Structure 1
Amino acid sequence: MDTKKILEQVKEGELSIEEAEEWFRRQPFEDLGYAKLDTHRKLRSGCAEVIFCSGKADDHLLSIYERLYLAEGEVLGTRADKEQAALVQGRLKEVVYDPLSRILKIEKKDKEYVGKIVVCTAGTADIPVAEEAAQTAEFFGNRVERLYDVGVSGLHRLLSRVETVQKANCVIAVAGMEGALASVIGGLVDKPVIAVPTSVGYGASLNGISALLTMINSCANGIATVNIDNGYGAGYIASQINRLGVYKNG
C-alpha cells in the first residue's frame, strides 16, 4: 500500500488515524535482523525494492518475499533458480517463475502499461538477459516490444523493423560476441539506447568483456552501457526513461 492510498482511505473514513499512524511508523525500513527491508523505497524512487534471489538462504528468501508481498501486493525477484522458485511457490501460490529469465514474480492484475520500450537482441543466445530486461520493464508498468535475433551479421533483419525501433522512447540493445548491435541502433534513433553486453561468445570474448569494451567505446551518440548480463539494470533504467517520455508527450 502506498502513501497516497493510505491518505485517501483516512479521508474516506475507511482507515482510522491510529491505523495510518501505525503504517507510517514502519517507515522507512523494516529490520528483520539479517535484512533491512526498504519499505520506503517506492515513495522515494517510484519503484519498490526488488529481491536479488541468488545466494540467499532459503529461510531468508521466503521471509523477505512474504514481507514485501504483504507491503506492496506484488514482488519482483531476479536471478532465482528452479529450487528457489519451488520453495517460494510452495508458500505463495500466486508466484510465477520464468526459467529463461530466472524472474520470480507476483504482479497486480489491474496494472496499466504506458509508453514504449523496444528490447533487441543480436542473437537467440542473448534472449535470457533480454527477457530479464523486458520483464523487469513490464513489471514496472511499461509497454515493451521485443525484436530478437536482429544482429549485425544480418543487418537487413533490423532494418526491416527500423520504424518500430525509432518510435520507442528507449531502446535496449542486448549483445554478446563483439557487441556491435548497440552502435548500429545508436546511429538509427534519436532516443537513448541502453547497451547490455552478454557473456555469450567464444574464448576471446572473455565472458562478455569484449562486448562491454565495444559498447563503452562506441562512437554512436546516446548510448549508456550497463554491466555484463545486467538485464535487470537495463530494464529499470529504461523504465525511468520511458516514463519521462510519457510525461513529456502528455
Structure 2
Amino acid sequence: MDIDNIQQLLENYKKDKIPLNDVLDKIRELPYKDIGFAKIDIHRKIRCGYPEVIFCMGKTPEQVVKIVEHIVESGQDMLATRASAEVYYAVSEKFPEAVYHEQAKTITLRKTHENTNEGLIMVVSAGTSDIPVAEEARITAEFMGNRVETLYDVGVAGIHRLMKNHGELLKANVIIVVAGMEGALASVVGGLVDCPVIGVPTSIGYGASFNGIAPLLSMLNSCASGVAVVNIDNGFGAACVASLINSKRKE
C-alpha cells in the first residue's frame, strides 16, 4: 500500500464506504507483511520512492510467486532480479503481463512506464560480455523512473570507440560503467566527464582477474576522483545509487 492508497482509504471511510476497522487493518500492514517465509517491506516505497525488489536466488519459484502476489496486491510495481526462466514461467502463469528480460535475468511488472526523473542515466559497458550486468542496471534504472541510454562495447582495448561517443557521455547526469578484465574503463570515463561515475566490476575475465576481484581493486584505486564503486556484478545496486543521484540533480 502506498500513500495514494492510504488517502483513498481515508476518503472512503469519511464517506462511510468502508468500516473503520478495515482502514486500521490496512494501515497496520504498512511496516511489512509477514507471510511466514518472508516479511515483505510494503512501506519501502513510501520511505525510499520505489518498492521492495525481489532477489530470486535461493528462493523457490513458488516463494517468488507468493511475494509477487503481495507486492501487486499492495498496488505497487514489481521488479525481480537474478530470476531464472523457471521462475519467470511460474510468475507469468499468475501474471501474464509480467515481462522477462533474459539478458538481465530480471522480471518486471509495471502499471505505468512514466519517467519521474528528467535527467539522463548513461549505462556504459567495456565489452559485450559485460552486457548482462549492464542490462540489469538499465532495467533497474528504468523501473525506478529514469531516462536511460546505453553505450556498449567501448572498452579500453579500442579506446577510439569511447572517444567517438564523448559527446554522448556529456549529456548524462550520472554514468554507470560496467567492466571486467582489469576494469580500467571506469577510471577513463571518470577523467572525461563532470558527473558522478559508478563503477561496476564484473566477474568476466581470465584467471588473474579472480572472478572480479582485479577490476574491483582497479576501480577502488581509480585516479579519477569522481568514481564510486559497487560490488562485483551488482548492476542493480549501481542503478539504485544512480537513481538517487539523478533524482536530486537538475538538468
TM-score (norm 1): 0.93
Whether 1:139 aligns to 2:148 is no
Alignment-derived partner of residue 80 in structure 1: 83
Structure 2 stretches lacking a partner, 5+ long: none
| Cα distance change on mapping 1:111 and 1:179 into 2, 3 Å | same
Structure 1 stretches lacking a partner, 5+ long: none
1:177–1:211 CA contact under 8 A, matched in 2:
yes
Alignment-derived partner of residue 239 in structure 2: 235
Aligned amino acid, residue 48 of structure 1: P
2:181–2:212 CA contact under 8 A, matched in 1:
yes
State the alpha-carbon separation in 2 of the partners of residues 110 and 235 from structure 1. Answer: 17
Whether 1:199 aligns to 2:199 is no
Matches within 5 A, 1:164-179: 164-179=168-183
Alignment-derived partner of residue 2 in structure 2: 2
Alignment-derived partner of residue 49 in structure 2: 46
Give the alignment partner of residue 148 of structure 1, picking from 145, 152, 164.
Answer: 152
Q: Give the drift of 1:87.
A: 1.1
Alignment-derived partner of residue 100 in structure 2: 97
Task: Give CA-to-partner distance per residue, 1:111-146, whole Å, 9 cap, x none.
Answer: 235310000000100000000001000000000000
Secondary structure (helix, strand or coil) at the match of 1:47 reads coil
State the alpha-carbon separation in 2 of the partners of residues 187 and 5 from structure 1. Answer: 46
Q: Give the drift of 1:20.
A: 3.7
| Cα distance change on mapping 1:110 and 1:8 into 2, 3 Å | farther
1:10–1:17 CA contact under 8 A, matched in 2:
no
Count of matched residue positions in the alignment of Structure 1 and Structure 2: 247
Whether 1:30 aligns to 2:30 is no
Whether 1:209 aligns to 2:213 is yes
| Cα distance change on mapping 1:188 and 1:35 into 2, 3 Å | same
2:134–2:178 CA contact under 8 A, matched in 1:
yes
Task: Tell me how large the CA RMSD over aligned residues is.
Answer: 1.7
1:117–1:168 CA contact under 8 A, matched in 2:
yes
Alignment-derived partner of residue 187 in structure 2: 183
Q: Give the drift of 1:8.
A: 5.3
Whether 1:161 aligns to 2:165 is yes
1:10–1:16 CA contact under 8 A, matched in 2:
no
Q: Matched residues, percent identical?
A: 50
State the alpha-carbon separation in 2 of the partners of residues 232 and 87 from structure 1. Answer: 22
1:175–1:196 CA contact under 8 A, matched in 2:
yes
Aligned amino acid, residue 244 of structure 2: Q
Q: Give the drift of 1:11.
A: 4.3
1:37–1:64 CA contact under 8 A, matched in 2:
yes
State the alpha-carbon separation in 1 of the partners of residues 96 and 160 from structure 2. Answer: 44
State the alpha-carbon separation in 1 of the partners of residues 32 and 220 from structure 2. Answer: 36
Q: Give the drift of 1:243.
A: 0.5
| Cα distance change on mapping 1:211 and 1:39 into 2, 3 Å | same
Give the alignment partner of residue 127 of structure 1, picking from 110, 128, 131.
Answer: 131
Q: Give the drift of 1:165.
A: 0.8
Structure 1 range deviating more: 183-192 or 22-31: 22-31
